[in-house]
Amino acid sequence: MDLKKIDAPASTVTYNRNEVDAQTNNIYEAISIISRRAEQINSEIKKELIEKLEEFATYNDSLEEIFENKEQIEVSKFYEKLPKPHALAVKEWLDEKIYYRNTEEDNK
């Protein structure tokens, strides 16, 4: 996922209910799909952040010395400024980039 190219809002936005449930005709199903995608995005971002922060990690047994690593701070600030996972998921949903299927309909 390229986080720099995502144009989801960073703050709270009111969405048109009809746009959100247009694909499923059920607002609860749409919200369920969006929330599952938000969980996936959150885990991807968290994994990526941990990997980047581990590059700068210094393992020290002494509690007396604490170093400020400027690169680590910059990486943290970048991830703090990103839109929240639910905003990214809603943007993907409205752009119809999320694939979903109803397994109950598949079984019939």
pLDDT digits (tens, 9 = 90+) for 47-97: 999 998 888 776 665 555 556 678 888 888 998 999 999 999 999 999 999
List CB contacts of 11: < 8 A, sequence separation 6 or more: none
Residue 59 lies inside a defined structural domain of this protein: yes
- 102 or 41, which is more confident: 41
Residue 75 lies inside a defined structural domain of this protein: yes
Residue 26 lies inside a defined structural domain of this protein: yes
- Give the Cα separation of 24 and 21 in Å (integer): 6
Note the pLDDT of residue 61: 59
Q: Counting beta carbons within 10 angstroms of the beta carbon of residue 94, is it exposed (0 to 12), middle (13 to 18) or buried (19 or more)?
A: middle
Residue 1 lies inside a defined structural domain of this protein: no
Looking at the chain, list the stretches that DSSP marks H as alpha helix, in order from N- to C-terminal side.
17-20, 27-55, 70-81, 85-94, 103-107
Q: What pTM does this model have?
A: 0.81
- Give the Cα separation of 106 and 100 in Å (integer): 12
Q: How many domains are contained in the chain?
A: 1
Range of the domain at 31: 16-107
Residue 11 lies inside a defined structural domain of this protein: no
Residue 48 lies inside a defined structural domain of this protein: yes
Categorize the per-residue pLDDT at 103 as very low, low, confident or very high, splitting at 50, 70 and 90: confident
Residue 32 lies inside a defined structural domain of this protein: yes
